[in-house]
Chain A
């Protein structure tokens, strides 16, 4: 009981400190020896401390199953394992917002500690914008989604956490994703502060670059975790569904990818000042949109929006406020950008970075329209539509081809001026080589689709060139090469996966056999067991293949009672080159089991390549800055 009040008061203290920082920082911007400049560090630390206090009291409330707390009541129950009681803290709307706040206050503190080489006014302004965001979250938390609402009389048992969320990967997926989102807020605040102070230059880019890479790495890993979870938990055997919830996490990732490249151009060549600022604003807005939209349920169904008008309205208001604020600041201080008098040569790294940004922005707008259009159409005309994978595949795959080719050539060009033609022959030879290779692969495996063959060629081209660069250039710029290599591996694995995946679905009884290419799949027996918070039905399947050791797969069905839900646990056998995926389902307690068996080549490589991509980002965070070329 007392923890409810503790958590709530800690939040109030956060609010008070935030307001103090906000008000005094406005008044002390031009005042050199103000109170704030000496004590800001302590204030930020106390704010972080109170956020930790509030968050830990919510965790403890979950652990001791204190059902006088409304959030605990709605999302937990006594027999749930301890690990999921803890992860349940951020598995719901209120708790996840509190986690956002915690990370926000931490990064505000951390930024101020680590930005001592920046002008003090710019740091103060950054913190000021950071406080605006924090205040927005605090008001939203306290007013519309307080995690510490008290229920009286105290119920004896909670309503439970949705079992498909009771998963170790999904326990760490939101925090990792939030770390990525929240870091973009620092980039956002710092770019607005730099803009006002006229500090957007190569030095600023050098300092903010670390934050951009931290954010990009966390987002990449966060999306990867979510994707792996969807693969083994949702039972469809796919890793990406173009579902609105997925798209909304991909959008900030795309604009962040553009920003990663363009901040490099700003650092090395002092170009693209205003575009960097615009991208920072876009990235942060998309990130905040994502969290809010997913958590408030607007995306899944427009009707949830109407159920809680207060939340929805607040979200819209806050979003528009932030967008207008940043656009307003942008137009007022636009003339403070350093004039750039540099000539752009066509065959340079600068041009390829601009091309990259162009393509990424195209991908971003396709996904944005595909995700948002159905919502608008439903509001405007009450017509319900869905935009599925064919839409995205059709608009994105053809443009991936030139994108991949530019991605291979770009890093091989130099800044400013380039003797491109001396290298031309080698690049062309590799290009022809990869086309021949992809035609051979396509012919050999009987794939006839022309666009797939071309895409295969383009990704092979990037693959070969990045390997060549890794061997030849050694440690020069290797973080970039590693990420690009990872991307080519990702496209290759996804392509091969989609070409060679095969599956069979059937309804089977114990003792039944089905044939699948040269294999025989047999359902041997069923077994019931009781676990801590669910009943388990295990099916034993034997897969026989000539001249090979037989494989036993044991998919499960779990029947949870709080809340009453059935989930399927797929049985997955992962090998280096192929995943074998078997999932079963109960239909109406019938003797027949609904069975789906899939063979998915190169699944493991999809995950590995995403890890390689983020590895490039990690290396970049820890490596020392290179010399300036100016």
Chain B
């Protein structure tokens, strides 16, 4: 009935739509599993229960809070309302200093204690995490 060309077109169209649906499905599934949420100390205090998933914690490094020994660096992340103790072993970025913004990725042990696996570098020395900026603005 239909010639070969029409059949080919139909096949092509079908395959395109199938790929599209498959792509969307895979992407959504992967997003669900691999998204890392970004929270501030206050948001963590307000959590009903602590998650065991990996999160990013953003805030400022509290003045006089960095302590370092041969295998660990301990410090406090604050958003000037709440504070969280962070422990980390690994390399820190250049802009990791007291009184500067920081983003730590890791796992929350409880509401006061965060075990960081990675401290993220920001290329800008004046970077302040957005929530902190917002809460500074409110003051």
B31 touches A343 (CB 8 A): no
**CB of A383 closer than 8 Å to a CB of B:** yes
Chain B residue at smallest Cβ distance from A560: B125
A563 near B: Cβ within 8 Å?
yes
Number of A-B contacts (CB under 8 A): 112
A366 to B70, Cβ gap below 8 A?
no
Please state if B70 and A508 are interface contacts (CB–CB under 8 Å): yes
| A322 sits at the interface (CB 8 A) | no
Chain A residues in 8 Å Cβ range of B36: 385-388
The stretch from A136-144, A205-213, A480-488, A564-572 touching chain B is A564-572
| A592, B19: Cβ atoms closer than 8 Å | no
- A587 near B34 (CB under 8 angstroms)? no
Q: Which chain B residues border A577 with CB–CB below 8 Å?
A: none
Check: B81 CB closer than 8 A to any chain A CB.
Answer: no
Count class of interface residues, chain A: 35 or more
A594 touching B34 in the complex, CB below 8 Å, given contacts A358-B19, A507-B69: no
Q: Are A506 and B70 in contact, CB atoms less than 8 angstroms apart?
A: yes
CB neighbors of B among A594-610 (8 A) = 594-596
Stretch at the interface among B22-30, B44-52, B106-114: B22-30
Interface residues of A in 316-355 (CB under 8 A from B): 341, 343-344
What are some 13 contacts across the A-B interface (CB < 8 A)? A162-B125, A236-B91, A236-B121, A301-B130, A343-B8, A362-B23, A366-B27, A384-B37, A385-B38, A395-B30, A506-B70, A507-B70, A590-B68
Q: Which of A235, A365, A506 meets B93, CB within 8 Å?
A: A235
Determine how close the nearest CB of chain B comes to the CB of A571; give it in whole angstroms.
14
A303 — which chain B residues lie within 8 A by C-beta?
130, 133
Could you tell me if A385 and B37 are in contact, using CB atoms closer than 8 angstroms? yes
Contact flag A512-B5 (CB < 8 Å), given A385-B36, A391-B34: no
- The answer to whether B91 and A235 touch across the interface, beta carbons within 8 angstroms, is yes
Within 8 Å by CB of B37, from A164, A369, A383, lies A383
Per the bound structure, the CA–CA distance linking A563 and B94 in Å amounts to 14
Contacts of A512 in B (CB 8 A): 70
- CB of A24 closer than 8 Å to a CB of B: no
Interface residues in B45-67 by Cβ distance below 8 A to A read: 56, 66
Question: Does B138 sit at the interface, judged by CB under 8 A?
Answer: no
The residues of B that contact A564 with a CB separation of less than 8 Å are 125
Could you tell me the distance between the alpha carbons of A373 and B27 in the complex, rounded to whole angstroms? 11
User: Contact at A565–B125, with CB atoms within 8 Å?
Assistant: yes
Candidates B34, B89, B91, B96; contact of A388 at CB < 8 Å: B34
Using Cβ atoms and an 8 Å threshold, which residues of chain B touch A391?
A: 30-31, 34-35
Provide the B81-118 mask, 1 if CB < 8 A to any CB of A, else 0: 00000000111111111100000000000000000000
By a CB distance below 8 angstroms, the chain B residues around A234 are 121
Shortest beta-carbon distance from A451 to chain B in Å: 14
A507-B23 contact in complex given A303-B133, A587-B92, C-beta closer than 8 Å: no
Q: Which residues of A contact B70 (CB under 8 A)?
A: 506-509, 512, 592
Contact with B along A258-300 (1 / 0, CB 8 A): 0000000000000000000000000000000000000000001
Which B residues are in CB contact (< 8 Å) with A507?
68-73
A302 closest partner in B (C-beta): B130
Smallest beta-carbon distance B9→chain A, Å: 11
The 10 closest A-B pairs by CB, nearest first: A384-B38, A596-B91, A391-B34, A390-B34, A505-B90, A588-B66, A385-B35, A566-B94, A592-B68, A386-B36
Contacts of B91 in A (CB 8 A): 235-236, 505, 583, 585, 594-596
Known: A235-B94, A590-B66. 16 other contacts (CB 8 A): A366-B27, A369-B27, A373-B31, A385-B37, A386-B56, A387-B31, A391-B35, A394-B30, A512-B70, A564-B125, A565-B94, A585-B91, A585-B94, A588-B98, A592-B69, A595-B91
Q: Which residues of chain B have C-beta atoms less than 8 A from A387's C-beta? A: 31, 34-36
A384 to B19, CA, bound (A): 30
Q: How far is the CB of B107 from chain A (nearest CB, A)?
A: 15
Within 8 Å CB of B69, what residues of A?
507, 592
A162 with B96: CB separation less than 8 A: no
Residues of chain A with a CB closer than 8 A to B139's CB? none
**Could you say which residues of chain A place their CB within 8 Å of the CB of B35?**
385-387, 391
Q: Which residues of A contact B37 (CB under 8 A)?
A: 383-385
Which B residues are in CB contact (< 8 Å) with A395? 26-27, 30
A203 to B9, CA, bound (A): 25
Inter-chain CA distance A234–B123, complex, in Å, is 9
Central interface residue in A509, A566, A596, by most chain B CB within 10 Å: A566
Provide the residues of chain A in CB contact with B26, threshold 8 Å: 395
A358 to B19, CA, bound (A): 9
A508 to chain B, nearest CB (A): 7
Chain A, residue nearest B61 (CB): A588
Q: Give every chain B residue within 8 A of A344 (Cβ-Cβ).
A: 8
A596 touching B27, Cβ below 8 Å: no
Q: Separation in Å of the B33 CB from the closest CB of chain A?
A: 8
* Interchain nearest-CB distance for B79 vs A (Å): 14
Cα distance, A588 to B98, chains bound together (Å): 8
Residues on A with beta carbons closer than 8 Å to the beta carbon of B19: 358, 362
User: Contact: B34 with A394, CB < 8 Å?
Assistant: yes
Which of B33, B66, B121, B123 lies in contact with A587, CB distance below 8 A? B66
Tell me, in angstroms, the Cα distance from A384 to B35 when the chains sit together.
10
> Which chain B residues border A362 with CB–CB below 8 Å?
19, 23
CB-CB under 8 A from A236, the residues of chain B are 91, 121
**What string of 1s and 0s marks CB contacts (under 8 Å) between A375-390 and chain B?**
0000000011111101
Minimum CB–CB distance for A353 against chain B, Å: 14
- Give the interface centre of B8, B56, B69, B93 by most chain A CB atoms within 10 Å: B93
Among candidates A388, A394, A508, A585, residue contacting B92 with C-beta atoms closer than 8 Å: A585
Contacts of A235 in B (CB 8 A): 91, 93-94, 121
B residues less than 8 Å from A341 (CB atoms): 5
List, in ascending order, chain B residues with CB within 8 A of A384's CB: 37-38, 130
Instruction: Select which of A343, A394, A568, A588 is within 8 A of B97 by beta carbon.
Output: A588
- How far apart sit A388 and B33, CA to CA, in the bound complex (Å)? 11
Instruction: Return chain B residues, CB-CB under 8 Å to A370.
Output: 27, 31
Considering only CB atoms, which chain B residue lies closest to A389 in the complex? B34
- Cα–Cα, bound, A370→B33 (Å): 13
- Bound-state CA distance A303–B92 (Å) is 25
Chain A residue with the shortest CB-CB distance to B8: A344
Inter-chain CA distance A388–B54, complex, in Å, is 11
Report yes or no: A587 in contact with B90, Cβ–Cβ below 8 A.
no
The CA-CA distance from A234 to B124 in the complex, in Å, is 13
B52 to chain A, nearest CB (A): 16
Which A residues between 547 and 602 are near B, CB-CB below 8 angstroms?
A: 563-568, 583, 585, 587-588, 590, 592, 594-596
- What CA separation (Å) do A567 and B93 show in the bound complex? 9
* Max chain A Cβ within 10 angstroms of own Cβ: one of B5, B30, B92, B97: B30
Closest CB in chain A relative to B28 CB, distance in Å: 9
A365 touches B23 (CB 8 A): yes
The CA-CA distance from A583 to B92 in the complex, in Å, is 10
